[in-house]
Homo-oligomer: A and B are copies of this chain.
Amino acid sequence: MESSEKLSPTQFLQQQLQDIVTLLEKQHLEKSLVERGPVIKHDLVETVLNKQQQTRLQEKFALLHPADIAYILESLPLDQRKIAWDAIKNDDDGHVLLEVSDAVRQTLISSMEAEEIVSVAGKLNTDEIADLAADLPKRAMLKILRSLNKKERTHLNAILAYQENQVGSRMDFGMITIRDDLTLKSVAAYIRKLGKLPRHTDKLFVVDQYDVVKGILPLQRLLTHLPIQHVADVMVTDFVRFQAAQDIAEASRAFERYDLISAPVIDAQGRLQGRLCVDSIVDFIRDKTDEDMLSTVGVAEEEDLFSSVWKSAKNRWGWLLINIATAFVSTRIIGLFEDVILQLVALASLMPIIAATGGNTGNQTSILIIRSLALGQITPGNKRRLIKKELTLAALNGTLIGLLVGFLVWLLYQDIALAAVMAMAMFINLIVAVTVGLAIPLLRYKFGKDPAIGTSVMLTSITDSMGFFIFLGLASLFLIHRH
């Protein structure tokens, strides 16, 4: 990163990306020139050229941090990505795999032999192997398991035993444990002997002979207290620890609340199982908020920007098809009122306003609820008040927007009864929209489902069909006999 002195990190990265794309395109160009040349020399020349380019690419990649390589691979289209990935092939391949998004990881792993995967995994910690496990071919995974020693295998199985939403699935084993009868001087000597501390070591964990965590010794205390003091006198006993089976969302809120860097993960008996670090939490927050955003509009999972059109299509179809099915329900509802529309065609023009405003209002409510649930702000104690507030707001909005829309309709059509029906339908549909906007996420959450998934699609369907039904129904009750 020294060379980025004058460039911001992003500018530096985009510069690197540009250089690599240029190299890749040059390679492609030279290759096609060769292909147009005399057939006889074809293979030989191509090989030589490729070798040169490969070397240049490799030199370029060797200088970059795995996370930077990951960024560059993610930004490359599939064909170039494959060539670049073949060019990298070094010890850090495993860390690159860890840094790329799930979708991109699959494209990279699919081009690797089982043997390659096993050798790459050999360079990783067990918690890092666990992160990759879901994306590895079964055959490679079995080989990796066989290559581990007993302790590593226990660690790996410990992580894999937990669900994705549990703290245990995101823990690592980079903790340093000490006993409380040591002096700080001997702790310092022990650390010096280790030579290197795991990443994010801001504290040591103090355990007893049963591995039960009794306290923590922040490095700061180690540095600021006298070497002759004992760990027991210096350690902090009022500290945050997490159960391995606990919800990771809850742990992430505790990390944010108490500004933690690392914390011990324990089992039900208080015995140390592993360590949870802030980088896992940052990843979780990023993943979760992304997922919430994407899943409200019915995008099933993270997409590789350059995955095939077919793959992306499948990722987005589920909810689109549900949307079409429900839209046909709206159609049938409007169909019921076709004679009403024939008598007063203005209804056809006006009904979308009721539906659209309902959809927007409901979406505002549901997104606020999804967000508050994610932040843990909604408790059994305040839920009722919150519902009451949102419904009061809906009544207020319904009245004001109803009157406004009614007035506009009166200006357009000079028909006071039509304006009144419009205002009434708007009022009722906004109440319906907010009720549904509250109900979908709260009920999904109550039954242990993710409150965000498909909320927007479901909500819009309901506010559409209810909007049409309310508006046309009121119209047929109050308007049609006059015509």
A292 closest partner in B (C-beta) = B293
Q: Is A367 an interface residue (CB 8 A)?
A: yes
A165-218 residues at the B interface, CB under 8 angstroms:
188, 191-192, 194-197, 199-202
Give the Cβ gap from A207 to chain B, nearest Cβ, in Å.
Answer: 16
Of the stretches A40-48, A84-92, A298-306, the one at the interface is A298-306
- Measured in the bound complex, the distance between the Cα atoms of B3 and A239 in whole Å is 11
Q: Is A327 an interface residue (CB 8 A)?
A: yes
Q: What 7 pairs across the A-B complex have the smallest Cβ distances?
A: A289-B289, A67-B257, A334-B349, A348-B348, A327-B353, A259-B279, A9-B254
Of the stretches A70-78, A116-124, A127-135, A150-158, the one at the interface is A70-78
Known: A312-B393, A316-B361. 18 other contacts (CB 8 A): A10-B247, A14-B380, A75-B381, A75-B382, A191-B224, A256-B286, A289-B289, A289-B293, A292-B293, A297-B364, A305-B378, A306-B389, A316-B364, A324-B404, A338-B346, A342-B342, A352-B352, A356-B460
A337-352 residues at the B interface, CB under 8 angstroms:
338, 341-342, 345-346, 348-352
Pairs A–B under 8 Å by Cβ, sample size 29: A1-B239, A5-B270, A14-B380, A67-B258, A68-B257, A75-B382, A77-B385, A194-B224, A201-B220, A202-B202, A222-B223, A255-B282, A285-B286, A286-B289, A289-B290, A289-B293, A294-B368, A305-B382, A313-B393, A316-B361, A316-B364, A324-B405, A327-B357, A334-B352, A335-B346, A338-B348, A341-B341, A342-B342, A352-B464
Partner of A356, one of B237, B330, B380: B330
Give the Cβ gap from A262 to chain B, nearest Cβ, in Å.
Answer: 10
Given contacts A220-B201, A320-B397, contact A294 B367 (CB under 8 A): yes
Q: Is A53 an interface residue (CB 8 A)?
A: no
B393:A309 contact, CB within 8 angstroms: yes
Give the Cβ gap from A176 to chain B, nearest Cβ, in Å.
Answer: 11
Task: Please report the total number of A residues contacting B with Cβ < 8 Å.
Answer: 142
A72 closest partner in B (C-beta) = B379
Residues of chain B within 8 A of A417, CB atoms compared: none
Residues of chain B within 8 A of A356, CB atoms compared: 323, 327, 330, 460-461, 464
Q: Is A29 an interface residue (CB 8 A)?
A: no
- Measured in the bound complex, the distance between the Cα atoms of B236 and A2 in whole Å is 11
Q: Is A479 an interface residue (CB 8 A)?
A: no
B223:A192 contact, CB within 8 angstroms: yes
B257:A71 contact, CB within 8 angstroms: yes
A259:B342 contact, CB within 8 angstroms: no
Residues of chain B within 8 A of A335, CB atoms compared: 346, 349
- Measured in the bound complex, the distance between the Cα atoms of B316 and A396 in whole Å is 12
A320:B401 contact, CB within 8 angstroms: yes
Partner of A338, one of B9, B250, B349: B349
Give the Cβ gap from A11 to chain B, nearest Cβ, in Å.
Answer: 9
B377:A305 contact, CB within 8 angstroms: yes
Given contacts A297-B360, A334-B352, A392-B309, contact A324 B401 (CB under 8 A): yes
- Interface 1/0s, chain A 256-281, versus B by CB < 8 A? 11110100000000100000001101
Residues of chain B within 8 A of A342, CB atoms compared: 342, 345
Q: Is A54 an interface residue (CB 8 A)?
A: no
- Measured in the bound complex, the distance between the Cα atoms of B377 and A17 in whole Å is 11
A369 closest partner in B (C-beta) = B305
A348:B377 contact, CB within 8 angstroms: no
- Measured in the bound complex, the distance between the Cα atoms of B312 and A220 in whole Å is 45
A237 closest partner in B (C-beta) = B2
